[in-house]
Structure 1
Amino acid sequence: MPRLIVFDLDFTLWDCGGTWCDCLSPPFRQQHGQIVDRTGRHVRLYDDVDAILAYCDQHEITMGLASRTEQPRWASELLDMLDITHRFPFAEIYPSSKLRHFAALQKATGWDYASMLFFDDEMRNIREVGELSVTSIYVREGLSNELFHDSLQQFADANRDA
């Protein structure tokens, strides 16, 4: 198992009405059991994300976030509203390269990059972070159970001899 699983936010863990969270229009509010912005864009976790986070909790896998956003405060507010902030003891949420995010995660945890698994929807991030020896998984349309569990196997296979 990975020591740390790192997730991107936009188009990986959540959908913000088809855009990035920094393109939303606060204030955010609960409306009919949903989180919406001022214009009515609906913010939601992808269908399988709750089960994936629960799996990580059950297997005591530490989780982190790496999100390149121009509005870190908005992302943090949405994480709070979705009631998942507590699941991520490590969160690098600010406008910068994912390489900077991962350098901070590595420094904070003391763990080797090879012990990390990363999910992101942008191929440039997958390529960059993959060069660090992090098992990096491209997420096409939101994280799914199938992709998550296939990726755990891919991580295990890549680290079998380590």
Structure 2
Amino acid sequence: MTDIQLVVFDLDFTLWDCGGTWCDHTEPPYQRRGDHICDAGGNKISLYADVAKILHYAQQQQLPLALASRTYQPTWAKKLLQLFEIDDFFEVQQIFPDSKRTHFATIQQLTGVAYNNMLFFDDEMRNIQDVSSLGVKAVYVENGISWPIFQQQLAAA
């Protein structure tokens, strides 16, 4: 059984794709259109296919979730979380322009979970390296989080 007590996700290119760019390069206001969101320029923003399954599984397993995002437009990211109706899945949300080390220091302080009991998914290798140096099990996801990657990493932790 895993010793993971908290799973942390990045946002851009980890939980969602904002049309090949970061959410801080989109154009509010946003509109929900079925399973995706469009920005004012008509660009499509979508969760990766397995995100809902992963979030519901974690909720059923009572596995706490958190966010660590370095976006320069935190209010836009939070609006997208609300529109996708996934904001309530995350007990801690560190969404602001700073290093992941700063995000994780606050997450650790707020949750009391030791770094070595955290599992982190991100699409940027610099973040994986920074957070790994703290003792967090950090996993690089090249094309967004998927159910097989999530399951494999949770089981291996």
TM-score (norm 1): 0.93
For structure 1, which segment, 97-106 or 144-153, has the greater mean C-alpha deviation from structure 2 after superposition?
144-153
**1:136 equivalent in structure 2:** 138
- Asked whether the equivalents of residues 36 and 47 of structure 2 are also in contact (C-alpha less than 8 Å), the reply is no
Structure 2 stretches lacking a partner, 5+ long: none
Listed one character per residue, the Cα deviations across residues 48-76 of structure 1 (whole Å, up to 9, x for unaligned) are 11111111011100000000000000000
Q: State whether structure 2 residue 45 is matched by structure 1 residue 54.
A: no
> What letter corresponds to residue 153 of structure 2 in structure 1?
S
Hey, what's the Cα distance between the residues in 1 that align with 2:133 and 2:8? 16
Give the aligned length. 155
Q: State whether structure 2 residue 71 is matched by structure 1 residue 66.
A: no
| 2:98 partner SS | coil
For residues 1-162 of structure 1, what are the structure 2 equivalents within 5 Å?
1=2, 2-31=4-33, 34-155=36-157
Hey, what's the Cα distance between the residues in 2 that align with 1:32 and 1:106? 36
CA positional deviation for 1:32: 5.2
> What letter corresponds to residue 128 of structure 2 in structure 1?
I
Counting aligned pairs with the same residue, the percent is 48
> What letter corresponds to residue 102 of structure 2 in structure 1?
R
| 2:94 partner SS | strand
Listed one character per residue, the Cα deviations across residues 9-29 of structure 1 (whole Å, up to 9, x for unaligned) are 000000111100000011111
CA positional deviation for 1:34: 3.1
Hey, what's the Cα distance between the residues in 1 that align with 2:53 and 2:143? 17
Hey, what's the Cα distance between the residues in 2 that align with 1:98 and 1:108? 15
CA positional deviation for 1:44: 1.0
> What letter corresponds to residue 51 of structure 1 in structure 2?
K
Structure 1 stretches lacking a partner, 5+ long: 156-162
CA positional deviation for 1:33: 5.2
